[in-house]
Structure 1
Amino acid sequence: MTSPRADASAPAGDDTKSPGLILAFLCIAQFMVFLDVSIVNVAIPSIERSLDISAADLPYVVTAYGTLLGGCLMLGSRLADTFGRRRVLQVGLALFGLASLAGGAAQEPILLFVSRGVQGLGAAMIAPAALSTLTVTFAEGEARNKALGIWGGLAGIASVAGVVFGGLLTEGPGWRWIFFVNVPIAVAAVLLAPRILPESKGERRPFDIPGAVVITGGLMLLIYSLDEAITYGWGSARVVPGLVVAGLLIAAFVVIEQRRRDPLVPFGIFRLPTLRTANIATVFFLGSVVTLFFFASLYMQQILEYDALQTGLAYVPLAVMAGVAAGVASQLVTKAGAKPVLMAGLVFATIGLFLLSRADADAAYASGVLPAFLLFGLGMGFSFVPLQIAAQMGVPDRQAGLAAGLINTSQELGGALGLAVAATIAYQNLPDQIAAAPARAQELLMDAFHQAFQVGAVLTLAAFVLALLLPRLKAGPQPAAEAPADETARAHA
């Protein structure tokens, strides 16, 4: 998340610290962040029943985390550079642990939603602090590449572990333990950090607190207004003003960033067409990914009557396929280029979502769910790798950290916004319809799930259209002349 230039100026820290132990510690911290994305999905129906959360408000369990995490990632990176990466990592872990304790103990939906938001804030401090610590610990070249390879593999492992652990914990001690399990890990990590991690800092730069507050507030209000539209309709006085104010806040963020000497997001970097297109495509694609995980969990438990453990295990082939496909894609992009691999991945993902949108209420797993999951997993693996490559293509070295932060932000915010839109469309007037015809509740719920998967397919198709605009990208070193100079290169340096 931090720029290479900042890392180069950072103190090396205590050379007696073991690089292997540092990497293990950072991986555990980041694993906890990844895990909390997938572990919650399997527990969603149990949480809904336990806290009596309405269908309209249920997406907040996911979107509160993603919105704060995505909205504060760039600020977390700046905090880590200024106050010390180890110190910010400890603060983030402490916030994450406290929020997990509060979430597990929640007796009201609002406390759970707030706790998830604070978890996201903590994660937004953990992720950039951990990644920048890794980059200053391992020298550029083979050592750093190996460390980053292990780091990158965590996402796939955590996705498998999350759905399985989510099922085991929900079926065993109960859904609250998907949060409680974080607490001892966070406490141990906070206490052990000074013994294991060196302290390092990056270049001190002014804070863009107004920018961070305005963009996060605008995104939260946007998601809240979309949620209100489920119950009150798009033209409601509770919805339209919220959407208008959210739009004004997001527009204000653009104005603030353009006027600050050291903005949170230097918008000049979006003059790079490949980076711009890749980030927008990522927003759409991650919206479809989070939509699938959220609604497929509800479909399997509320319609197919799987228990939580069966639901978690049902996701394993999808996650394994995604991991295998990512490995294949990393080889293919060096031969065929990133663009055709990305387009193939988005086609596979779209077909997988289309199949789910046609699934029956009595579908067998082997014939009704598994083929869709395998295709979507293949699409995920084929899409993630080239999107990451495209987001860094042509970026000057001094802006590499900024580009990495932007693609991560696009992933988190895309997931939160995509799910909010899908839920708004799928659940529109659903409570009233079920109340008017309770005998048709299952049929109406199945229709809602079909609509959600259709929205997900539209999102992947939108990403596919954007992929058509990308040049034929080859994964490899780019000549310096291909990186257009812009004002933000100087502003961020």
Structure 2
Amino acid sequence: MEHKRAILAIILVSYVMIVLDTSVVLTGLPKIQLELGFSDSGLAWVQSAYTLTFGGFLLLAARAGDIIGRRRMLVAGLALFTLASLAIGAAAAPAALITARAVQGLGAAILAPSTLALLQATFADGAERTRAVSLYSATAGIAASVGLVLGGVLAEWLSWRVGFLINLPIGAAMIWAARRHIPESARSSGQFDVAGALTSTVGMSALVYAFIRSAASGWSDGLTQGALAAGLLLLAAFVVNERSAAQPIMPLRLFADRQRASAYAARMLFLAAMIGFFFFITQYLQTVLHYPPSLTGMAFLPMTLVNFVVALQVPRLTRRFGNARLLAFGLLVCLLGMACLSRVSPGSAYLTAVALPMVLIGAGQGLTLSPLTAAGIAGVPARDAGAASGVVNVAHQLGNSLGLAVLVALAAAGARGLSGVDLLAQRVTTALSASSVFLVLALLLMVWPGRGKTDSIAAPINPRR
């Protein structure tokens, strides 16, 4: 038991590093923009460069864990992630920061699937794994919220760079602990689907570039249209490649079950909505309400604290109500909070217009992530454990990157002709209204497959079906 606790601690701390650096940067964005000279639309690349390489190389890294060994991949991911954090902390220009963030995303792509695959291999199916998965999912939600608070405090009192430099001692400690406590997994023979990794990564990057560029240049711009067409063609080539590859990085059989496929799509939509909330409300608090970075981080506490409390109750609530009901209720609560928050204006009061909706969003996120994770890996055979964990994380990161790009484009289109605080307030309203639509679609996806079934998501999934 002590051995399993040590492995779980390493898995959770490593995952905290990944999620924390997705959110710790958000409250520091205005400071980063001012210090390094980012444009309004270019600022989105600080987040998207990380999430794109993260999501794009996850599947290849997940398969590499099955072939090379999961502990080796965990250590390699920790090392690359830590070195990239040092480069981010030293960045002196936008290009240097974006490049380092992309490398950090690659490190996260190597690290993340190993954590979830090690969790599956270490803890037996049933109550033991349910508790471990719940802690894993709670860690993701809580770390994202804590990162906002920590990022704001560090940006104002020290520097936004410190949020990345703290990864150095943590990363070094986790590398030592992994080599000491985690046994190497059995290696299997296989091939790397490099064509699949490249077509998926470049295709998604082109799509994100098209949406972000459209915010400044419009959809009539030739480069915007070319990037969109290239992205769609490359993603089509990716699907064709996965159908014929001997050992695809994303086995299409994982999508054969309608409920599992719906869980992947719902995760993308949910994360797209949540990244919109984090990205735009952070700027609203600092630019419209004139909060300093530290107070901006503190302003997210209503969500952080509720998320923490609710996430810890998920194992008990799952046993009582089942995954399907819990997931549907969590999405509904989150939707109510997002819809209320989308009505903010320059004259809104923080307590009623921001804090109270945040409570609902925090509760909804706490209830949602664990059932979504469980639905994405339920019933997956051991040979696909790495690939399935990779798809869960890919859906997470692509929801972040593509979702943010879409919301940036929509926000820009909905605020043309405005200026000053009215411009940003309208951008926030447009983006969060679109985020509410994403949550409606996610809820429909999770309710529709379960028609006529009381708890379809919690039911075992037969991968051969």
Q: Identify the match of residue 226 of structure 1 among 206, 211, 221.
A: 211
Contact 2:153 2:295 in 1 (8 A): no
Contact 2:203 2:231 in 1 (8 A): yes
Amino acid at match of 1:474: D
Contact 1:338 1:473 in 2 (8 A): no
* TM-score of the two chains, using structure 2 as the length reference: 0.91
Q: Identify the match of residue 33 of structure 1 among 13, 18, 42.
A: 18
What aligned pairs does 1:36-435 form with structure 2 within 5 A after superposition?
36-138=21-123, 147-191=132-176, 193-393=178-378, 395=380, 399-428=384-413, 433=417
The corresponding residue for 1:441 is 420
Amino acid at match of 1:102: A
Instruction: Say which SS state the counterpart of residue 222 (structure 2) adopts.
Output: coil
Q: Identify the match of residue 433 of structure 2 among 446, 454, 457.
A: 454
Amino acid at match of 2:435: G
Q: 1:458 to 1:252 in 2, by over 3 A?
A: same
Cα drift, residue 151 of structure 1: 3.5
Amino acid at match of 1:130: T
Amino acid at match of 2:196: G
The whole-number CA distance in structure 1 between the counterparts of 2:278 and 2:403 is 12
Instruction: Say which SS state the counterpart of residue 343 (structure 1) adopts.
Output: helix
Provide the identity percentage: 36
Contact 2:134 2:311 in 1 (8 A): no
Instruction: Say which SS state the counterpart of residue 450 (structure 1) adopts.
Output: helix
Cα drift, residue 277 of structure 1: 1.3
Cα drift, residue 76 of structure 1: 1.3
Contact 1:231 1:428 in 2 (8 A): no
5+ long unaligned stretches in structure 2? none
The whole-number CA distance in structure 1 between the counterparts of 2:258 and 2:172 is 44
The whole-number CA distance in structure 1 between the counterparts of 2:321 and 2:124 is 30
Cα drift, residue 287 of structure 1: 0.3
Cα drift, residue 204 of structure 1: 2.4
Cα drift, residue 176 of structure 1: 1.2
Contact 2:286 2:293 in 1 (8 A): yes
* TM-score of the two chains, using structure 1 as the length reference: 0.86
Q: 1:315 to 1:142 in 2, by over 3 A?
A: same
Instruction: Say which SS state the counterpart of residue 69 (structure 1) adopts.
Output: helix
The whole-number CA distance in structure 2 between the counterparts of 1:182 and 1:270 is 36
Cα drift, residue 114 of structure 1: 1.5
Aligned residues: 463
Q: 1:318 to 1:444 in 2, by over 3 A?
A: same
5+ long unaligned stretches in structure 1? 1-14, 435-439, 487-493
The whole-number CA distance in structure 2 between the counterparts of 1:337 and 1:199 is 34
Name which one, 1 or 2, has greater alpha-carbon Rg: 1
Instruction: Say which SS state the counterpart of residue 39 (structure 2) adopts.
Output: coil
The whole-number CA distance in structure 2 between the counterparts of 1:383 and 1:53 is 34
The corresponding residue for 1:469 is 448
Amino acid at match of 1:384: L
The whole-number CA distance in structure 1 between the counterparts of 2:8 and 2:175 is 16
Cα drift, residue 321 of structure 1: 1.8
Contact 2:138 2:370 in 1 (8 A): no
Q: CA-to-partner distance for each residue in 1:453-475, whole Å, 9 max, x for gaps?
A: 11111111121222231213537
Cα drift, residue 84 of structure 1: 2.6
Cα drift, residue 289 of structure 1: 0.6
Amino acid at match of 2:305: V
Amino acid at match of 1:308: P
The whole-number CA distance in structure 2 between the counterparts of 1:364 and 1:466 is 34
